[in-house]
Structure formats: C-alpha cells, structure tokens
Amino acid sequence: MRQGARKAAVAITSIAAVAALTLAGCTSDTDPGSDNTGGTSDEITDAQREEALNTPTDLTFWTWVPDVQDQVDMFEKEYPEIHVKVENVGQGLDHYSKVRTASKAGTGGPDVVQLEYQFISSFAQTGELLDLTPYGAAGIADDYVPWVWKQVVSGDQVLAIPQDSGPMGNLYREDIMTAAGVTEPPATWADYKTAAEKVRANTDSYISNMAPGQGAGWLGLLWQAGVKPFGYDGSENVTINVNSPEAKEVMAYWQDMIQNDLVSIDPDFNDEWYQGLNQGKYAGWLTAAWAPVFLSGAAEDTSGLWRAAPLPQWDTSKPASGNQGGSADAVLKTTKNPIAAYELAKWINSAQEPALLFTTQQNFFPTAISVLEDPVFVDQESDFYGGQQVNKLFADISTTVDTDWQWLPFMEFAYSSFNETFGAAVAAKGDLAAGLDAWQDALVDYAQQQGFTVNG
Amino acid sequence: MTNAIQRKQHLVAYGFILPFFAVFATMFIAPLAYSGYLSFFAHKLVGGVKFVAFGNYVRAFQDPAFLFGLGRTALILLVQVPIMLGLALFFALALDSGRARGSKAVRLLIFLPFAVPGVVAVLMWGYIYGQDFGLTGQITRALGLPPTDFLSDQLILFSIMNIVTWAFVGYNMIILYAALKSIPSELHEAAEIDGASQWRLAWSVKIPMIWPAIFLTIIFSVIGSFQIFNEPKLLVEIAPTAITQGFTPNFYAFNVAFVNQDINYAAAIAFLLGFVIMIVSYVVQLSMHKREVQS
Amino acid sequence: MTAQLTPVTAPPRTPSKSDKRRKAASRGKRRSNLLTLVMWLSVLYFIVPLIWLFMSATKDNSDLFTTFGLWFGHDFNLFANIRAVFAYQDGIYARWALNTGIYAGVAAVGATALATMAGYAFAKYKFPGDKLLFAITLGAIMIPLTALAIPTYLLFSSAHLTDTPWAVILPSLVSPFGVFLMRVYAADAVPDSLMQAARVDGAGEYRIFWTVSLRLLAPGMVTVMLFTFVATWNNYFLPLIMLNSGRLLPLTVGLAQQQATSAAGGGAQALFSTVIAGAFLSIIPLVIVFLYLQRFWQTGLATGGVKG
C-alpha cells in the first residue's frame, strides 16, 4: 500500500511537472512533496524546478551519439537559460573509462552521460548514478516500453532515461536469397540452417556474419532463447550462469553453423565488414532495430535489395526476440545541477520533436510509446527495403522481448573477457561450449576477487 | 679564494639544473612515488580499499594475462628486435660502402616511416591487412594465394612486429649510419688497400668501431618493446578476439586501470614493468660491456 | 664510456674534411648493381604503405575497397576528401592540427631549454651530487612513460589540470634523454679554454652561457628540439587519458576517435576515406620538417651513438 501511495505521489509530481512545463509561465501552487507520506527522498517541487530551469546553468553532456547537438539545440531553445556543452570522449569502453576516471577524480566529469543499458548496473554498483526518482522519473514509467523501462530501474530507483533500444530482427538481401532458392524468410532456426546451406551452395555469399567479438549480439541471441545468464540484486549478490545447459544448446547450434562454414565469422564494424555488406559477402545480418537505417547509409549501393523479418524462432508458437544495444541518458551524482541535468536527459528523449528526430537522423529505434505509435514513424516506408514498413515490423518485434533480462555489475570486464574466451572460440571455429565454460570461470573468478557473493 | 669561486660555481651549476629537476620532480618522481604508494593497496567493488602490502605484486606474478604479455614482449625482443636492427645495420653499412646508386634517396626513403605518427601507421596497416579488401588481400588474390588473415590470433603478433619494424628500421639505420660516417676514413681506406672485401671490412673494422651506437639502438629497442601500446590499442577495434587485455604489459596496465577500474593493481603492474625494463637493460649493458672488453 | 672515437659533434654546417675526402674516394669506387637492386627493393617495403596511403586519400569510400590499392581509383577525390576532412564537425580537424602544433612546439622549446641548461651544467661544472643526479636522469630513460601516465593523471585531476593543454605539455617537458644528449654534446662543443678566456675577461657564468656557449650548443639544441617535437607530435597515450574535450585533442587522438566512429553501433558512420585523407595530411608537416632539417637529426643522432 505504502509503495502504491508513494508511486501515486510520484506520478502526481511528475504530471504536475509536465503540466507546469507545457503551460510555461503558469506556476502551480501544489507542493506534492508534502503529500509524500512514505518516501524518505525529498521530491523536487515545481518551484524548485522552475527556478532551476530559469537560472543560467552550464551542463556538460558526454555522448557519442553523432549530431546530438541538434536535439540539444532544441533543448536550449526551449530553456534558453541552460547552456549545454556536448562532448564526445570516445565510444563504448573508452567512453566508460573516461566517465569512471572523471567520476573518481570528482571533477571534470559530465552532468549527463550516455550509458548503454548493459552498463547501467555497473555504474550503479559503484554509486556513480543519481537516483532520478525525486526528480519525477518514476512518473514517466508508463511512457516507455515495459522491457526497456525495466532496464533503467534498480529496486525502486530510476537510474537513467531510455533513449533508444535494439530489439533484434533479421535483415537480408532478397536478391541473394532468391538466387539461392530461398523464397521465404526462415521462420525457425532449423529453416535458417537449411537456407544457409542453400546460400552457400548456390551463391558466393554467407547467410550472415557472426562477429566473434560482438558480445552484445551473442547475448541478444541468448536473450531471445530465454536464457538468463546474469543476475544482480543491486548490492553484493550476483548470479553468473553463462554456461547453463540452455546457453550451451543455443551455442551448439552456432557451433554447427560455424564449423560447417555456413556463416562467416569476420569481426564487425571495421572496413572489411562494411565492404562485406556492400559487396554481398553477407546475404543477411541478424541485428538490432537501430541497424535498418544505419545499413541504408553504410551499404548505400545495395539500396532496394534488402528486406527485414523477425529473427528465426526456437518455438514458433511463442515468438520471441532479444535486444542488442541501445542507450539511456543518466545523471552523475557529481553534478551540481541535478534538476537541469535530469530535465535535459528527459526532454531530449521524450519531447516529441527531438525524439522523432532521433529516429530519422540518428537511426535510433525509439523507446517511448508515443513515438513508437506515431504514424510519422510507424508508417514510414523505406526505399532501401523495397518500400517495406520496417519500423512497424520492429515495433511489433519490440513487444516480444523478454522483460526479465539482467546484467552483471561489471560488464566492462565481462565483455573483454568474453572476447578472450567465447569470442576466441568462435574465431578459432572451436568448441563453443568450452568457450562458455571458460567465460564462466573468468567471470566467477573476477566477481569473487571483487568481493561479490556468487550464485551459480 | 678558490673555495669561494668553487662555491659560486656550484651555485651556478645548481641554478642550471634546477629548472629541469624541478619539473622532473613534479612530473616524474612524484607520480612514480604516488604510483608506488597506490600499489600497496587493493580496491574491491564490494568492500572498498584496503592495505595489502605486496599483495598486488604477488598477484601479478600469478596473473597469466600479465605473464603472457611479458612472454610476448620476450618474443618481440628475441625475434623482432634482431631482425629490425639487423636490417638497420645492413642498410647503414650498404649506404656507407657507397656501392649502391642513389644512396641519398634510399636513406631518406627508408627513414620516412619514422615521420609517420604511430597512430597513423597502425591505422594504415590495419587497412592494408584486410584479408578481403585490403592491400594484402588484393595481392594474395592476384597471386592466386589463399587469403591470409593477418589479424587472426596466430598472426597478429607478427603483424604488429611488422608495423614496429617498418616504423623503426630507418631511425636505427640513421643512428648507425651517422656513427659509421664518423669513422676516420683513413682507417678503412687502409684496409681496402690491403685488399679486404667489403664484408670483411664491415665485420672487422666498421662494426667494432660503431659498437657504442649499436649498443644504443639495442637499449632503445629494448625499452621500446616493453612500451608497445598503440598497436594493440588501435588494432583491438578490428581484431577484438585476437588482441587480449594483456596482449602487451603496457596495454594490460592501461586496461586494468581504465577498463577493469583497478588503479592499484595497474600501479603495481606499471612498477613491475619498470623493474623488468631496468633489469633487462642492465643485463644487456653487462653483456655488451663484456663484448666490448673482449673486442 | 667510450670516448676514444672522433665524435661528429662539431657544428655540422660544413661537411668535415674526412667526409669530403670519402666522397671523392667513393666516387672512384665500383658501383654494385646487385646492391643497388637489393637496396631499392628494400625501399619498396618502406614506401609501399605510404603510396597506398596517398592513393587511398584520393579515393571515395567505394573505390577505396574495390580498386587496386597502389593506383588511383575511378575518380580523383583527393580534394573532395580534404574538404570532407575540414568539414567534419565544423572543421575540428584544423583545430586538432593546431593543438598538435602548439603542444609539440611548446613542449619542444621548453624541454630543450631545460635539457640544455641541465646538460651544460653536467658537462661543464663539477658540483656535489652531480654523479648521482646524472645517474638518476639516465635511469629515468628506462621508465616506461605509461607507468607514469596513470599516477600523473590522478595527480593532475586533483590539481584540476586534466582536460587542459597543460596536462599534455607539462609531462612532455621532461626529457632525460635530452639532458643526456646535451651533456655529451656540450662536453665537446664548448671548449673549456673558451670559457676560461671569458672568465678572465670578467664575464659571469650566466653571461658566458648566454653569449658564448649557447651559440655553440645550437645544433645540439635543434636536435633535442626536433626529437621532443616529434615525440609530442606522435604522443597518443598521454592525451588519450588526459583530455576529454574534442576541441583540445591532438591529431593522433582525434584521428583514432574518428576512425572509431565506424564502430558506434546504431550511430556508426563509415568515415574511412575521410580518416585516411586526414591521416595522409597529418604526416605531411613532419615529413617536411625532416627533409628540411636533415643535417640536424643526422648528426644529432650520431652524438648519442658515438658517445653512448
């Protein structure tokens, strides 16, 4: 009950806040903070918010999203007193290590920071993220796809505002598939193997490329299969189960594909791989929802030849997908302007204008329900995919993503050791089950050494 | 009187060295001391910081990633350094003999890679190594050879050795060549009149004469080999499974500090690395000295 | 250690006598076709990658991978690529180039000044502790810079100096090898008799340094300056960890970051031809510096080599 009451209070706060924002200038007299009966955290009042947003403030925003300056410009137009400095300090691990060191040093760090979902618990564990609940974040939970929202909460804390997501599907070259004698996108993984054999036999292509170092993609495939390799209770207990029988079953399928040379295993996102996409070395790509627009830029020469489909299924009666990638924007505890920082993270990702721009300009696949249902987004027909409504397809796929996936609180280490164990086994066309075992051992060793309690 | 002059001269000398040692103390000694201090603590994600004395050093000696990195460096020392310096010496002697046409242009062109920043060199070779569309891919295909993946687990170390060799042969060649030029010409003219062949002349006159320069190139190469960082840092993007966290000790220290967020352990590794370099350099110096005495 | 050799430490403005004689001698020598062939084949190994870099800088993204690497593509895109280089993020490349020049320039001048004074003192004065201090300097050459970078980062961040140009410049001011080189050079280039004569004329020690010695030390200083300049120009590790702001980066970090944008997942951009053209442009200044200052680096290196 208490919990419910508090949630309601929070919801009221944020609705009031939104109202206050839209009716710019109108000040509300309600002080929802005083209605808060159960909470210990101090809710931010509208007056405080108004004041913060109308005080000249400098914010720093670290992100590697290209051209995000455009969304930030919109924000600065909306709130002329807030000045935002956008910095790209590197991407992926480089970005995270910069955030870590700046946060450790206590100075020179950003106020708002891009975080992939998979790294949120890692940063929460080290206490670097501000709980956004007092700022009204819990109230916007219902605006987002449920499985995405689950990725940004820990217990009753909200740690980031979702930006984009990557439910997985299957992009493929229709022309090569036809040439190979595959007329329908494979519905099951067994069909996929048959199709892969046809592609190898009848064309010079591979049905897809399974990059050994693409940890997030491999985990996405486990996610689809309902495997739960990780668990974290938010404090000292982690569950590590990457070599479960279920995980090994999925990887046995891929070991068979790899060892029979039915898929290629080139590293991805380098020059060779881009060429492989352009030149038809890969007839398809099992990838995330951010990929369709990205691909249309990266493999421009092949426009019109691609189509999109859901991932092949293990059980067609229960269609499922996993997620690969996608980011949120979090506020660091070291910020001196938490209210403005929260508003920046929230506004650029939820106001209709910047959020829609993300989908068209930055290739992002949205997480806000309002954008996912916006006709501008859903009904878009893409020439690159022969006029297919790719967004609608992925919006449907997004509803099939399992909501209970969790990450470890040390994913930086987890991914680098993934490359050295499982990734190396893929690259060597070796024993993938042994690769999983080696990864399990490395993770458990590290977790114990770092003082966690490990559950099998 | 003389004492006063002497004292004044001491003061002057201290005045000259003061600026350097002031910066040296703050930019070199202080970080080093701080690093040493940090290395005696351990930081855990759960439980925080605690004093562990030499625990981090003990851990490093049992850490396969660190030891394999050292092993790779040893391989570089034993394979790449001799090849690189052998080539540099050969080119220097060949240029010095004056028997090759266009030797001035040759000298400049071989030195040219040294002007290429390490980052650019690695990026460039990364493209060239592409097995399907890179230059090596194009050449192997044109020759009808099977495609070779220079970025695979098996070959990546040799690909890195190649980049280092490419970049530094010219630099070492110039050091040796300049030393050769300083040999009084009367010396080998006399030998030539005696009818000594170029090979003999090189072996028994020139090489012994430039021994100090050779020694310098060896020491520099030893230090350089232990510091290899750019190559794994940049190639890991295109060869993620072939380059491990501990590919080279220096890269490992970086990863431990900035990826694994274990500054304390990284400090211990960096310290150990410094020790290893000093020991190896010392051993090299000793053996060189012996050789010098013998010759 | 081994001072028995005639050093080539005399100011290198004119070729030495023996050099001239050797040139004359070598003209009379028999040229070897085999050796010429071997040498020029070896040269190929060193310049083929650079030819590839140049050719690639003239291609667009699709020619880059579909046409032969050592010849031009279908279209000549060098200028379009250069425009793209300077258009990227509102011309941040020019900013990176400027930063690189400033960092390298300030570090080179500063490090040379410090090294010259220290090296000169070690060579020309005897003072208590000189042996020990010099030994420490020599020992410092062995310490891997990366071993220092991490603690330096921590110290700098507590002094609020990270993400400023000083974070790159200050550590680059320390050049133990420069001190070593200047000591060796000063020992021969500045004759004691000259200093003595100046003293007899009543000149103070600093005045002697300033008016007499400095001029004689100039060629050695250029060498030290050149090598610190190159070292700072090429430095990647230090700016990588010290700097965050895009506008403060040097070329090395900027280019590496630009290259990495191809791997940014959903937001990835394949900027290969732009990166390659940027890389090509970045090596031109150093190549020119080296060609122009040949005699300095050649003799300068000999100083260290002869007296090692």
Closest alpha carbon to C269 in A401, B136, A91: A91
- Nearest-Cα distance to chain C for A279, in Å, is 9
Contacts of A325 in chain C (CB under 8 A): 265-266
Decide if C151 touches A, using CB distance below 8 A: no
Nearest CA-CA partner of C302 in C228, C192, C223 = C223
Complex ipTM, two decimals?
A: 0.90
Residue A414 near residue A443 (C-beta atoms within 8 A): yes
CB under 8 A, 24+ apart: contacts of C18-22 = C18/B184, C18/B185, C18/B186, C19/B181, C21/B185, C22/B98, C22/B185
Q: How far apart are CA A417 and CA B259, in angstroms?
A: 11
Beta-bridge partner residues of A112: A61, A331
CB under 8 A, 24+ apart: contacts of B6-10: B8/C205, B9/C125, B9/C126, B9/C127, B9/C205, B10/C125, B10/C127, B10/C128
Of B46, B131, B242, Cβ closest to residue A272: B131
Taking the Cβ of residue B101 and every Cβ of chain C, the question of whether any pair is shorter than 8 Å is answered with yes
Task: Please report, in tens digits, the pLDDT of each residue of chain B (295 residues total).
Answer: 468 888 888 899 999 999 999 999 999 899 888 888 989 999 888 888 889 999 999 999 999 999 999 999 999 999 999 999 999 999 999 998 888 888 889 999 999 998 899 999 999 999 999 888 889 988 988 898 888 889 998 899 999 999 999 999 998 998 898 888 888 877 767 776 776 777 778 887 888 888 888 988 998 898 889 889 999 999 998 888 899 999 999 999 989 988 888 889 998 998 888 888 888 888 887 887 776 655 5
With both helix axes pointing from N to C terminus, report the angle between B211-226 and C294-307 in degrees, rounded to the nearest 10.
100
Is residue A324 within 8 Å of residue A168, measured between CB atoms?
A: yes
Distances (CA, A) of B63 to A155, B67, B249, C164: 36, 6, 11, 36
CA distance B288 to B88: 18
Which residue type, as a one-letter code, is found at position A292? P
Interface test with B, best of C26, C137, C209, C236 (most B CBs within 10 A): C236
Q: Which residues does chain C have within 8 Å of residue B253's beta carbon, measured at their own beta carbons?
A: 146-147, 150
Q: How far is CA B1 from CA B5, B8, C127, C203, in A?
A: 6, 11, 17, 18
pLDDT digits (tens, 9 = 90+) for A270-288: 888 988 998 899 999 999 9
Q: Largest Cα–Cα distance of chain C, in whole Å? A: 76
Q: Across the interface, which of C69, C144, C236 has its CB nearest the CB of B138?
A: C69
Going along chain C from its start, the domains and CATH numbers come out as 78-304 (1.10.3720.10)
Do β-strands A161-162 and A327-331 pair in parallel, antiparallel, or remain unpaired? antiparallel
Chosen from B84, B89, B119 to mutate, greatest number of chain C CBs within 10 A: B119
Instruction: Show the CA angle centred on residue A322, arms to residues A365 and A314, nearest 5°.
Output: 135
Q: Is A164 in the C-facing interface, judged by CB distances under 8 Å?
A: yes
Residue B280 CB partners (closer than 8 Å, separation 6+) = B77, B222, B226
Q: Is A267's CB within 8 Å of B152's CB?
A: no
B254 to chain A: nearest residue by CA?
A: A97
Mapping DSSP to helix (H, G, I), strand (E, B) and coil, where does residue A432 land? helix
Minimum Cα–Cα distance from C121: chain B residue: B13
Using a CB-CB cut-off of 8 Å, the residues of chain A touching B34 are none
pTM metric for this prediction: 0.87
Q: Does B244 touch chain A (CB under 8 A)?
A: yes
Which residue among B44, B130, B259 places its CB closest to the CB of A271? B130
pLDDT digits 0-9 by tens, A345-381: 999 999 989 999 998 888 789 999 999 998 989 998 9
Distance from chain centroid for Cα C162:
24
- Interface probe for B, chosen from C183, C228, C233, C301 (most Cβ of B below 10 Å), is C301
pLDDT at residue C33 in the model: 87
C-alpha torsion sign, points C197, C203, C204, C205: negative
Identify whether the C-beta of residue C115 lies closer than 8 Å to the C-beta of residue C224.
yes
Sequence-ordered strand ranges (E) for A258-381: 284-288, 306-310, 327-331
- Tokens standing for C275? 């990166």
Nearest to C244 among A65, A108, A298 (CB): A108
